[in-house]
């Protein structure tokens, strides 16, 4: 069974050492994160058209803006909508909506509604994601860290009155439902000192790694130091003046069955939440597959 060790973790990013695994398993985890972890995203918008009067100033504004409706819809769709998996349902699984026709679905258990009412000014004013207001639970407001995302620009006499409807989906249906970016994994590596005398060409550059970092067997196993070693080797590798003299005195060797897995989320959920959900999705899929095999055999 695969073992996991968290190497570093922040709110929206994580790096994990996966041991006792193979590439197929780690890649299935990567693909599950991209395509199967549920996430909320804006799926529909309704723009109020016409001329509006500002009751405070008496000025008249027209519902008009430079971007096309399609461009505006795309920008809003890619915003990170906070996702709480235990509190909401897919619309086709919602106890209150699953038996309705698709166009009639939508309730507080499977849909989040946002609204925006913003006016322009002379010289133009950028409309930010923080101006989007949720109707209902304030936990679902756009996270403060992403409130400065620009959505459009309105000039004097222009106004944007609109409603936006977010639902749960999966990345395999549309990229707006994918909660992650930069999902990568690579084999863990060790640094191997093959020829001590020639290795001095690297150490004499006074970069990051020294001879003392290697153990008595000439091996470097610390993950962070191996990362530094990779960078240092660029100074004595292909295309450098020291390539011939260094001649692979130190090389990197893959560790069988061990991988470094890392990714970032778009801010709709924490990295840990995303990872846990991916594991649940993958476990559920293997469970169904096992049941099918048992029934067939």
- Which 3-state string (H, E, C) describes the chain? CCEEEEEEECCCEEEEEEECCCHHHHHHHHHHHHHCCCEEEEEEEEECCCEEECCCCCCEEEECCCCCHHHHHHHHHCCCCCCCCCCCCCCCCCCCCCCCCHHHCCCCCCCEEEEEEEECECCCEEEEHHHCEECCCHHHCCCHHHCCCEEEEEECCEEEEEEEEEEEECCCCCHHHCCEEEEEEEEEEEEEECCHHHHHHHHCCCCCCCHHHCCCCCEECCHHHHHHHHHHHCCCCCCCCCHHHHCCCEEEEEEEEEEEEEEEECCCCCHHHHHHHHHHHHHHHHHHHHHHHHHHC
* pLDDT of res. 295: 66
CATH of domain 39-175: 2.170.120.12
Every domain range in the chain assigned CATH 3.30.1360.10: 3-36+181-263
Every domain range in the chain assigned CATH 2.170.120.12: 39-175
* pLDDT of res. 86: 94
What is the reported pTM? 0.85
* pLDDT of res. 48: 83
CATH of domain 3-36+181-263: 3.30.1360.10
Please, what are the averages of pLDDT over each run of 10 residues along the chain (297 residues)?
A: 93 96 94 96 89 68 75 93 96 93 92 92 91 93 94 88 95 96 94 95 96 95 96 93 94 97 96 95 76 63
* pLDDT of res. 68: 80
* pLDDT of res. 121: 85
């Amino acid at each position: 069974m695969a073992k996991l060790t968290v190497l570093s973790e922040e709110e929206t990013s994580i790096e994990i050492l996966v041991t006792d695994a193979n590439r197929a398993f780690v890649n299935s985890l990567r693909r599950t994160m991209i395509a199967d972890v549920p996430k909320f995203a804006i799926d529909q918008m309704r723009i109020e058209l016409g001329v509006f009067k500002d009751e405070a100033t008496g000025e008249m504004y027209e519902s008009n803006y430079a971007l096309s409706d399609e461009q505006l819809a795309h920008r809003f769709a890619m915003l990170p909508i906070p996702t709480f998996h235990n509190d909401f349902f897919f619309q086709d699984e919602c106890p209150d909506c699953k038996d309705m026709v698709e166009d009639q679905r939508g309730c507080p258990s499977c849909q989040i509604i946002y609204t925006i009412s913003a006016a322009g000014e002379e010289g133009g004013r950028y409309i930010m994601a923080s101006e989007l207001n949720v109707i209902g639970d304030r936990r679902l407001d756009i996270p403060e860290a992403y409130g400065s995302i620009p959505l459009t620009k309105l000039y004097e006499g222009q106004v944007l009155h609109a409603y936006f409807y977010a639902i749960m989906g999966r990345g395999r249906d549309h990229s707006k439902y994918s909660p992650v970016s930069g999902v990568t994994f690579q084999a863990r590596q060790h640094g191997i000192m093959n020829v001590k005398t020639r290795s001095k060409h690297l150490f004499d550059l006074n970069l990051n790694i020294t001879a003392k970092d290697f153990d008595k067997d000439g091996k470097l196993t610390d993950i962070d130091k191996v990362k530094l070693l990779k960078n240092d080797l660029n100074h004595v590798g292909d295309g450098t003046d020291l390539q011939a003299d260094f001649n692979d005195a130190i090389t990197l060797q893959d560790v069988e069955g061990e991988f470094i897995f890392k990714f970032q989320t778009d801010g709709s959920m924490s990295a840990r939440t995303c990872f846990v959900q991916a594991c649940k999705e993958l476990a559920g899929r293997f469970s169904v597959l096992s049941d099918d095999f048992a029934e067939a055999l």
